[in-house]
Amino acid sequence: MNGDITQLWVYLSTSPLLWLTVTLLAYQLGVWVFQRFDCSPIFNPVLTAVLVLVMLLKLSGTEYQSYFKGAQFIHFLLGPATVALAIPLYREVAVIRKTFVPIVISLVVGSLAAMVSAVGIAWCLGGERVLLLTLAPKSVTTPIAMGISEQIGGLPALTAVAVVLTGITGAVIGDLVLNWMRVHDETARGMAFGVASHGIGTAHAMQKSRVSGAFSALAMALNGLLTALLLPVLVSLLR
């Protein structure tokens, strides 16, 4: 009987459909927990789903490559989902035109702060050069961050981990920090989430309000573009 169960698990564990289903169920569990605790940022659905998946992969002894064969469909959808953020942006285009100058200023300052703080803290803690280059684009959405990291000499895989951790951290504590700083304007909060915690922060901002989500999407897109243009130049100058 145990042998049959083992053979069944070996078959299922290599099936892409299994891990696609598990990923969707883990996220749905995260949404349920999030709603169950009155939408507390501490119980962010992405964080819950990540913890559940890590535990399942560890207990089952499944390698990441086997898991990704199923989850890669969700990874593919990141592109269309990012493009779809143009819809809330279009709805708020009048507000964006009125606040163009503050948007540009906050974007440049926020982008530089994200890069300098990551590299500066790692340098103070004794991080090697390759680690500094790896962490520099950590506040940009994953596909762009990995490309930047590879271009400047970092480790793209480690950059992806840093990006995810940055996004989750921003979504979890972002509201607490902004409330403590008495920042209640929806446009300002959206810009903060988009610049600091990219896609995961944008998803969180979308849950709060349409305006906040739109400005977060705008900040995420422009921050990715600005960082892709600015960071390689800064690295070349420092070299």
18 in any annotated domain: yes
Average pLDDT, the chain: 81
Structural domain for 28, as ranges:
2-76
Band the pLDDT of 5: cuts 50, 70, 90. very low
Tell whether 69 and 183 lie within a shared domain.
no
57's torsion region: left (phi>0), alpha (psi -120 to 50) or beta? alpha
Q: What is the dihedral of CA 114, 234, 134, 106, to 10 degrees?
A: 20
Domain termination site, one of 21, 50, 76: 76
Q: How many domains does the chain have?
A: 2
CA distance 198 to 165: 11
Domain termination site, one of 52, 76, 100: 76
Specify the pLDDT at position 1: 46
56 in any annotated domain: yes
For 48-79, the pLDDT digits (tens) are 888 898 898 888 887 777 777 777 777 677 76
82 in any annotated domain: no
Token pair recorded at residue 156: 């793209």
| pTM for the predicted model, two decimal places | 0.74
Domain termination site, one of 76, 108, 141: 76
Token pair recorded at residue 49: 């789903």
Q: What distances in angstroms separate CA 180 from CA 4, 60, 177, one per listed residue? A: 57, 42, 5
Token pair recorded at residue 196: 């600091």
Tell whether 100 and 153 lie within a shared domain.
yes
CA distance 126 to 239: 19
Burial class for 200, CB neighbours closer than 10 Å (0-12, 13-18, 19+): buried
133 in any annotated domain: yes
Tell whether 142 and 65 lie within a shared domain.
no
Tell whether 161 and 187 lie within a shared domain.
yes
